[in-house]
Structure formats: structure tokens, C-alpha cells
């Protein structure tokens, strides 16, 4: 598998190390990278034995089978359609872009026309298999997530007291906290949608790790799942599970036996 990577931040560097240096994706390699910082991109290309592209259209014209987006929601909005139209499968890290249902439906249409696929890593949460199972027969009644984060991770949060920063639905949460609540969108896509997935975001100075409490009800009974995320070893701002889930998608993409 020949892979193109958009983004040279924490997740991008993790994937370059694990795939190109550690060889954790047998038969796969990141052969091209684009990031806005040209100096950083040139350094990454040398360090991880890949090619630096000066813009995304050039990367899309390269001999790659799949593109990983590890950048921003804005990059997804601007270039996801082009990736698919160029016949490349797409792994999305910034899944919050799909909260826009018109945008989501347009990408589905392009996938159908171009025989391409979009892969969504589970990110920093679990329980998606239960939601998909209940949704498949229309018997999922409610889904909600309560996210607690240290104040430093939430813009405008007070540092001396706990405070509810948002309470509502995922569609609005991703607009107000685009870098903080991708988990609610992947949860909503597996379940009831961004307009029906309840979200509460709490700033808590007593914690050092992000935590997510997921609750769902339906014909299956009740799901209660709590996940406490360790940060990446070299950067406390990024969930380690989020990075690992992207690698897991790549490793399982062509498996003959798939779970869930």
C-alpha cells in the first residue's frame, strides 16, 4: 500500500515513525507528505524516507493508493472531494468535518461514483460496535457523551474551578470546539447523527487526562462506557488512542477476517 499523508503534526509524525521506520504496516509505506510548514516538511521527508510535496493537488497526482488526513477540519472541507475524485481512498482524522450533513452526503455520492471509500478511525473512544448493531435495525433510542478535559485543553476555560463549557448536541459542539470534540462526531455517525447525539463538555482542573463517559440505550439494553485517555508520550495535547486508531484502520483495511 502506497500512502500519502496530509499533516506533519503529532499524529502524522507518529504514523511516519511507526510505518516507515518501525515497519508496523507490512507492505505499506508513506511515500509522500504535504504539510503547510515547508521547512518542517523537508525535514520530515529526509528523516522518514519519504517525498515532500509542495501542495495537496501534487500529492493527489502521485502514485498513491490512499490518503491519510491528519490536519484540520478546514483541510477536509477543501480537499476531501478531490482526494476521492482522484480515485484515492481516504482515512479521516478530523472527522468533525462530517457534522455538516450536506458535505457528508456529497462525499458519499462521490464515493459511489468513483468506487472509493472513506475510513473513520474510532479515535479516543469505544463502544461503536454496539451502537452500529442497534442502529442497523432502528432500535437505538439515545446516545450521549460527557467529556472532561483539563482547562488548558479548552479555550476560555477557568483554571481554578470546574465549569460546564457546553451542553447540547454534537452538531453545535463541533462548531464551538473544532479541535476538542471529534469524538462526538464519530459517536454520532455510528449512532443517531450529530443532531441527536447529546454532548456535555466539562473543564475540570482536578484532572490531567481527558475522559469520556458514553451512555446509550435501545432494545439491546443500556451501554455505559468510560474511557480515560493517556496523552501521546511525546506530546500531552494529543490522545494516544487517536493516533493508534488511525494505524489500526490501516492494518485492518485489507484483512480477510474483520471484527465488528
CB 17 within 8 Å of CB 232: no
Residues whose CB is less than 8 angstroms from the CB of residue 102 and which lie 6 or more positions away in sequence, other chains included: none
Could you say which DSSP state residue 233 is in? T
User: What three-state secondary structure class fits 89?
Assistant: strand
CB 151 within 8 Å of CB 159: yes
Q: Does the annotation mark 212 as catalytic?
A: yes
What backbone phi and psi angles, to 5 degrees, belong to 115? Answer: 55, 40
Given the DSSP bridges, would you call strands 197-203 and 140-149 parallel, antiparallel or unpaired? parallel
Nearest-angstrom CA–CA distance, 258 and 176: 36
CB 15 within 8 Å of CB 69: no
Q: Which helix (H) or strand (E) holds 103?
A: helix 101-114
Could you say which DSSP state residue 16 is in? I
What backbone phi and psi angles, to 5 degrees, belong to 102? Answer: -65, -40
Helix axes 101-114, 73-85, angle to 10 degrees: 20
Nearest-angstrom CA–CA distance, 203 and 150: 6
Q: Which of 33, 198, 212, 229 is catalytic?
A: 212
Could you say which DSSP state residue 98 is in? G
Active site residues: 212
Amino acid at each position: 500500500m502506497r500512502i500519502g499523508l496530509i499533516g506533519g503534526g503529532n499524529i502524522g509524525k507518529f504514523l511516519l515513525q511507526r510505518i516507515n521506520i518501525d515497519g508496523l504496516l507490512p507492505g505499506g509505506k508513506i511515500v509522500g507528505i504535504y504539510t503547510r510548514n515547508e521547512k518542517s516538511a523537508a525535514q520530515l521527508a529526509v528523516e522518514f524516507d519519504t517525498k515532500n510535496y509542495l501542495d495537496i493537488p501534487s500529492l493527489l497526482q502521485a502514485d498513491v493508493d490512499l490518503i491519510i488526513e491528519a490536519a484540520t477540519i478546514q483541510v477536509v472541507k477543501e480537499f476531501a472531494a478531490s482526494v476521492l475524485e482522484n480515485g484515492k481512498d481516504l482515512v479521516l482524522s478530523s472527522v468533525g468535518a462530517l457534522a455538516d450533513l450536506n458535505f457528508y452526503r456529497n462525499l458519499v455520492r462521490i464515493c459511489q461514483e468513483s468506487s472509493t471509500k472513506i475510513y473513520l478511525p474510532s479515535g479516543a473512544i469505544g463502544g461503536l460496535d454496539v451502537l452500529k448493531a442497534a442502529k442497523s435495525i432502528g432500535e437505538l433510542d439515545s446516545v450521549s457523551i460527557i467529556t472532561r478535559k483539563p482547562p488548558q485543553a479548552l479555550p476560555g476555560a477557568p483554571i481554578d474551578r470546574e465549569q460546564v463549557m457546553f451542553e447540547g448536541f454534537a452538531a453545535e459542539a463541533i462548531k464551538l470546539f473544532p479541535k476538542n470534540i471529534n469524538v462526538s462526531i464519530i459517536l454520532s455517525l455510528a449512532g443517531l447523527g450529530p443532531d441527536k447525539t447529546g454532548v456535555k463538555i466539562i473543564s475540570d482542573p482536578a484532572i490531567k487526562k481527558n475522559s469520556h463517559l458514553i451512555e446509550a440505550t435501545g432494545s439491546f439494553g443500556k451501554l455505559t462506557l468510560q474511557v480515560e485517555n493517556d496523552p501521546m508520550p511525546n506530546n500531552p495535547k494529543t490522545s494516544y488512542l487517536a493516533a493508534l486508531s488511525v494505524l489500526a484502520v490501516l492494518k485492518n483495511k485489507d484483512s480477510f477476517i474483520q471484527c465488528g
